[in-house]
Structure 1
Amino acid sequence: MNIDMIRAAADRIKGHARRTPILTSPFLDDIAGRRVFVKAECLQHTGSFKFRGGRAAVSALGDSALKTGVIAFSSGNHAQGVALAARAFGAPAVIVMPSDAPTIKIENTRALGADVVLYDRETENRDEIGARLSQERGLTLIKPFDEPQVIAGQGTTGLEIAEQMNAMGVTNADVMVCCGGGGLTSGIALALAADAPGLRVRPVEPEEFDDVTRSLISGKIESNVRLGGSLCDAIITEKPGDLTFPIMQEHCGPGVVVSEEDCMRAVGLAFDRLRIVVEPGGAAALAAALFHPDTSEGDAVIAVATGGNVDPDVFAKALETLK
């Protein structure tokens, strides 16, 4: 993985992925005690940054692979990103999703034309299911984070952050990134190391699912005991990737761990003050910026709002935190 791959991915997805805005609010600044800049990837196609990686990976395939089709496994955001990208290229798509994924994510993935295969994430292994289906049907597997072209696509978010923050005169700040397996985190870290070295990436994870934070401390890949049962489903993985972890080791600062309650409060505040819809897992970075000011230094912090695919009942509960 290198910056050249990220720049090449940016060229391939240009005109297809949205250049998402940086949003601010003086009310959020007051809560955090510093300037807060929110990169609104929840406004990306399919409601998540994952479209970048999906489009980058699918667009790198040859005609033969596109004709046969692709397969991906995901709790929903990567699923939708790959499904939309595959549809644009006329490629069949099979998506392996946990049965407890938010209903809206399952329905949206099917609506995009993908064949959805559900599994129990507590008792079944999605990697094994994906490998089996890939072999049986001759499909090209597009992993959700431990795949070079996916990391490159996610890294285009970092290229935009570097340009946007430079234009605003912010060249020294922590960049909070919601982190599951580390595809977005490592991609942004590589991009910023090249284009904005004063912006330091910080992985953010929910309590009890802090495998990346623990891995960065121990210096080796650590795993989570549980793989489900959190409203932050979008960023729940077993462990960081073999490709993503070394990149995070080299380019990221220490991880930040936030509570599910903080994420729900951040969802409510994002809507109240920025008028954007963010899912709990996609609000983890904002939760760190707002409610954990002691974890970062300087007079500014950047938070990536990674996804907005939230079920209505969960969103309603988040709004209740404003009362």
Structure 2
Amino acid sequence: MTSQLFQRIQDAHRLIRPQVAVTPLAHSPMLSKLSGCDVYLKCEHLQHTGSFKFRGASNKIRLLDADAGRNGVLTVSSGNHGQAMALAGKLAGVPVTVYARAKASPVKLDAIRALGAELITIDDTPLAVELEAGRQAKLKGMCFVSPYNDIDVIAGQGTIGVELHEQAQLAGINLSAIFASVGGGGLICGVGAAARQLLPQTDVVACWPANSAALYRSLMMGRIVDSEERETISDGTAGGIEPDSITLEIGQQVISKTTLVTEEQIMAAMKLLARTDRWMIEGAAGVALASMLKLADQYQGRAVAVVLSGRNVMLEKFIEAAK
């Protein structure tokens, strides 16, 4: 599956431009000094809509057939994927309906509405909302776009891995590890599939908040299992995964290491990055940075990349985290 996925990633890397930006790979001198690693930040928080999700959304919309484009697409999101689909659909003239939890981040829900998508909120668990969205898509005859359980979406996210390879090669950087946060697994599977082909000596480190680690538990068991979900500041990675998710099989093939971080570690990482590099990031990006700091002893003196997945966080939540 990963070889076929890599071909799709290569196609996406060529064909989603210039709509999707190539984000910087920025060296952080202060984080390097503090961690003992040579730290590079893949700045997906600077991507359009404020997260990496615009890559997968743009690739999916690009590949819709004419009927699906006319009928519109229906998706489910904790916020970032919904914003990305809303913008990608708007640019292509494709109607977009987004299902979301009523408890999702208000700043993300407001952004989805502002981009012109129809937003439907449900007061239930993330997985329940996801399953209902899929059911409604079938009833309405619309194309359902999963945030992670979709090969075209994963391929779009995988373009980050191609960019990392190109940017590291150009700068003469030998990356020892790539750290990326995990929810449903679309990001880590896409980046991992690209890295296995282009950076085979580089560790692909999957990073979860300990409070919400559904795919981690499933990887440990070798099958999709139910997992206890607790509140986390990493709302972008929260929630369960579909019983048939392709990210389990792909993740088994591309992930080198796994790690869990606490809420305290996530918030400390968010605060640290604001101090060292003057960037305000959301919890999911904090998960990747916190994981790098946790495993820094394993990469002393070596170059590592941290995927800063997004910046869409409420100011009040960020201020609370940074106290």
TM-score w.r.t. structure 2 length?
0.93
SS of residue in 2 equivalent to 1:223: coil
Residues 160-215 of structure 1: CA deviation (Å, up to 9, x unaligned)? 01111122323341111111111010000111111111222111000132233333
Deviation at 1:318, TM superposition (A): 3.0
Q: Judge conservation of contact 1:216–1:255 (CA < 8 Å) in 2.
A: no
Deviation at 1:295, TM superposition (A): 5.5
Q: Does 1:252 align with 2:255?
A: yes
**Are positions 1:169 and 2:172 aligned together?**
yes
Q: How does 1:308-319 map to 2 (within 5 A)?
A: 308-319=311-322
- Confirm whether residue 144 of structure 1 aligns to residue 147 of structure 2: yes
Match for residue 81 of structure 1?
A: 84
Please tell me whether the aligned partners of residues 58 and 88 of structure 2 are also in contact (alpha carbons under 8 angstroms).
Answer: yes
Query: 1:112: which partner in 2?
Result: 115
User: Is 1:219 the counterpart of 2:216 in the alignment?
Assistant: no
Task: Give the aligned CA root-mean-square deviation in angstroms.
Answer: 1.8
SS in 2 for 1:256: strand
Q: Does 1:306 align with 2:314?
A: no
Q: What secondary structure does 1:91 align onto? A: coil
Residues 47 and 124 (structure 1), Cα distance of their counterparts in 2 relative to 1, 3 Å cut: closer
Instruction: Give the deviation of 1:134 after TM superposition.
Output: 1.2
Structure 2: runs of 5+ lacking an equivalent = none
Aligned amino acid, residue 294 of structure 2: F
Instruction: Map 1:267-286; keep pairs closer than 5 Å.
Output: 267-286=270-289
Q: CA deviation at 1:124?
A: 7.3
The residue aligned with 1:239 is 241
Identify if the C-alpha distance between structure 1 residues 217 and 129 changes in structure 2 by more than 3 Å, giving closer, same or farther: closer
Q: How far apart, in 2, do the equivalents of 1:76 and 1:207 lie?
A: 21
Once superposed, which parts of structure 1, at least 4 consecutive aligned residues long, lie more than 6 Å away? none
CA distance in 2 between partners of 1:312 and 1:165 (Å): 33
C-alpha change, 1:212 and 1:128, in structure 2 (3 Å) is closer
Secondary structure, in 3 states, of the residue corresponding to 2:307?
strand
Provide the rounded CA distance (Å) in 1 between the counterparts of 2:267 and 2:218: 26
Secondary structure of 1:231 counterpart: coil
Gap runs ≥5 in structure 1: none
Evaluate the alpha carbon distance shift between residue 295 and residue 78 of structure 1 in structure 2; reply closer, same or farther with a 3 A threshold. farther
> CA separation in 2, counterparts of 1:128 and 1:100?
17
Conservation of the 8 A alpha-carbon contact between 1:23 and 1:274: no
One of 89, 94, 97 as aligned partner of 1:94: 97
Alpha-carbon distance in structure 2 between the residues aligned to 1:272 and 1:278: 12
**What is the TM-score when the length of structure 1 is the normalising length?**
0.93
Instruction: Give 3-state SS (helix, strand or coil) of 1:174's partner.
Output: strand
Percent identity between matched residues is 32
